[in-house]
């Protein structure tokens, strides 16, 4: 059993409408209360890759995060709900027909440099999973997907010390869109004919 400890931002999230999108700051708060200074963006990249390649289960995702935090289980039910909701949100978006997946990245409340670092972290996490794929599977991917993944190698080394300018803002948006499309391409090709891999009426994890 979890020892319940109330966490303001997390409680506020669960009082919000069910259609609200779980944001970077809420997840970052959960990381902080577990003593982790790691950016959630890196784990979100791994999450996208794992959902596409391995159909990562809710239990396996929670186990991975707990290992990252150096604990056996989340410290309270609210934290567990956020972490599981994070996976559910990503899976639902990747599997949706309207292609509305968005990486979990720092938003406009953060500086452009922090947002660029978040995108770089996401890319590194995503590529960490992709690089475990065997050559036979890779060779079966489309040319578009292979090209998109090759381009991410460059994105993983982008300069993050950016000034806040409209030009840099536009460039970062374009790069984020590229990462977003790469994740959706990978998921789609790994799940042919399965736009929704989990039944809509299945219990929410």
List of domains in the chain: 8-190 (1.20.120.740)
Q: Is the dihedral of CA 128, 169, 93, 70 positive or negative?
A: positive
pLDDT at 202 over 50: no
Q: What is the pLDDT of residues 24-60, one digit of tens each?
A: 999 999 999 999 999 999 999 999 999 999 999 999 9
pLDDT at 18 over 90: no
In the structure, what pLDDT confidence band is assigned to residue 163 with cuts at 50, 70 and 90? confident
* Percentage of the chain exceeding pLDDT 90: 73
pLDDT at 174 over 50: yes
Least confident of 6-10, 25-29, 163-167, 189-193: 6-10
How many angstroms separate the most distant Cα atoms in the chain? 51
Query: Pick from 111, 113, 117, 105: which is nearest to 47 by CA?
Result: 105
pLDDT at 116 over 90: yes
pLDDT at 204 over 50: no
Q: How many CB atoms lie within 10 A of CB 201?
A: 5
In the structure, what pLDDT confidence band is assigned to residue 205 with cuts at 50, 70 and 90? very low
pLDDT at 14 over 90: no
Which tokens in the block code for residue 41? 């963006």
In DSSP notation, 138-161 reads HHHS-HHHHHHHHHHHHHTT----
For the chain, give the number of residues: 205
pLDDT at 19 over 80: no
10 Å CB burial of residue 143 (0-12, 13-18, 19+) is: exposed
Q: What is the pLDDT of residues 67-108, one digit of tens each?
A: 999 999 999 999 999 999 999 999 999 999 888 999 999 999
Please report the pLDDT score of residue 192 as a whole number: 85
Q: Mean pLDDT of all residues in the chain?
A: 86
């Amino acid at each position: 059993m979890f020892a319940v400890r109330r966490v303001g931002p997390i409680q506020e999230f669960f009082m919000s409408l069910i259609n609200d999108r779980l944001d970077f700051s809420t997840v970052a708060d959960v990381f902080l209360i577990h003593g982790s200074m790691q950016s959630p963006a890196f784990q979100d990249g791994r999450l996208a890759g794992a959902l596409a390649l391995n159909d990562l289960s809710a239990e396996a995702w929670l186990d991975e995060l707990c290992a990252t935090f150096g604990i056996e289980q989340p410290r309270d039910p609210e934290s567990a709900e956020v972490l599981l909701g994070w996976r559910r949100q990503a899976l639902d978006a990747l599997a949706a027909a309207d292609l509305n997946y968005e990486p979990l990245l720092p938003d406009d409340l953060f500086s452009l440099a922090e947002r660029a670092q978040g995108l770089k972290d996401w890319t590194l996490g995503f590529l960490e999973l992709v690089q475990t794929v065997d050559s036979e599977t890779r060779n079966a991917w489309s040319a578009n997907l292979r090209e998109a993944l090759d381009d991410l190698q460059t994105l993983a080394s982008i300069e993050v010390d950016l000034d806040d300018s409209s030009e840099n803002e536009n460039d970062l948006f374009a790069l984020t869109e590229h990462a977003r499309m790469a994740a959706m391409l990978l998921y789609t090709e790994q799940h042919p004919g399965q736009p929704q891999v989990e039944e809509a009426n299945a219990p929410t994890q």
